[in-house]
Amino acid sequence: MTDDQTMAAADDGWADPIATALLILADGTVIEGMGFGFIGEAVGEVCFNTAMTGYQEILTDPSYTGQIVTFTFPHIGNVGANEEDVEGLVSSGACGVIVHAPVTGPSNHRSREHFNDWLKRRGIIGLSGIDTRALTAFIREKGMPNAVIAHSPDGAFDLEGLKAKAAGWPGLVGMDLVPEASAPERREWEGTTWLPEIGYGQSGHNKFRVVAVDYGIKSNILRLLADVGCAVTVVPATTSAEEILALKPDGVFLSNGPGDPAATGAYAVPVIQALIAQKIPTFGICLGHQMLALAVGAKTMKMHQGHHGANHPVMDFTTGKVEIVSMNHGFAVDPASLPSNAKETHRSLFDGSNCGFELTDRPAFAVQYHPEASPGPRDSHYLFARFAALMEAKGA
């Protein structure tokens, strides 16, 4: 696509001839479609997600802060929305969503709200009716572009202003977005988990005290910690090591989150270094994986197209098994930079990127992907039991 090229809305016989939503890439490319959801404009990085289900969990994952999600699966929104499937505690997650087919009315017994109304309420702009396959192919070839997504029901846009906004946005490299995604105050997780045929309820057993550092934590992570007997105190990302140690945790959890890990590491790394020096069992996921890596001297790097989806194959070297996992990250740990005391435990079978490591001299490990799923397969739930086993061994 060139600077002046326009990708028109797909003509499926339903599209209004007047475009009511635009995606303007930083190179000047204009993609026209039909708007839904929140009315307005937002700037972010465009990525694609290959999951076929779980659009609510994806769009409310705080790791998507500052991003516009393109779904490769054409039918999104058709099972409506509910509050049980919201993952973020604070952040709305993605600022925009791009789909191929128009959003239909909900058809699911769990639906409590039309997807369009839910998006409006959460401030997420929607664009439909475009060839999402072409946009995905563009991202795979050129990388994740910066862009503005805009929705105006009357089709009136300040095109030149939007182009300037897209071109002027600096992008995610060097950007610390954790303050937007982290809860500002400490809170006790109520211990809810999913109970068969009942829904969300109390786990009923708390064996370990865990402090979860909130860089943008997902609710299902907290549920799975509760499942393995953890009473969890969630603390803000800027909490000091002294404050965390004062809570006398059996273990520390480093959460997922958005933005450039190197930027967040400016204040997070010294805290983690102080915690692992005390040999407290530590478990990191996603951004938490990158934070632990930076804390032991490794480096992170921006990925070309990132990993976003619920169907990624990963090799677990500790078991010799391949698991299918859920991923959402645009930065990765440089495996060549891992120190000698960091043993690689997981690797992507798509591109060979590092997906996990453990420390050989301290009870700490981390994975790049999302073992809690939501959405995604449950192949990796065992990692929460592995964390509990570390805490058990430490207390023995």
Residues identified as active-site: 286, 370, 372
- Tokens matching residue 36: 């839904």
Task: Return all residues near 62 (Cβ < 8 A) that are at least 6 apart.
Answer: 87, 88, 89, 90, 91, 93, 181, 216, 217, 218, 256, 257, 258
Taking CA atoms, 258 is separated from 36, 233, 297, 317, in Å, by 25, 21, 21, 27
Residues, the chain: 396
Chain-centre distance for alpha carbon 290: 13
Taking CA atoms, 385 is separated from 92, 208, 326, 328, 391, in Å, by 29, 12, 18, 22, 10
21 vs 33: CA distance, rounded Å: 5
121 vs 129: CA distance, rounded Å: 22
66 vs 82: CA distance, rounded Å: 23
Taking CA atoms, 135 is separated from 166, 172, 224, in Å, by 17, 20, 35
131 vs 71: CA distance, rounded Å: 11
- Tokens matching residue 241: 């090591």
